[in-house]
Structure 1
Amino acid sequence: MLLSIGYFGLCAALLVVATWRIRLRHPEATVTELFDRLLDDRAVRIAVIVIWWWLGWHFLAGATL
């Protein structure tokens, strides 16, 4: 479980870095424009889906055992 949390933290950190890099290139961009530019990349869209799946699987799904 600790490894999963570490991977989630890594993904969150990478999202922050990607947002920061876009913000440096386009300082006039709004938050909505930043997310639009981030989600233009297919790899980022897949990463967002995987992160949401992981959150749902580990935290939002009910315990079945």
Structure 2
Amino acid sequence: MIYAMVLAGYVLVPVAGVALAGWAHLKPDSLTGLAKLLGRVLAGRAARITLLLFVWWLGWHVLVG
């Protein structure tokens, strides 16, 4: 069961990325740019701290583990 869920995730994420890229190519005004998106998301202090802790946790598990 877990194997099927992981496999579905590995298949669906790239498919969603290709679909999003296609949508952005067809209707560029309907999606915002990455700089604007990150500017709005990281406007709050809590979001910046959460991102910092996530990158720290990920780096610890990748580099040390």
TM-score normalised by the chain length of structure 2? 0.48
TM-score normalised by the chain length of structure 1? 0.48
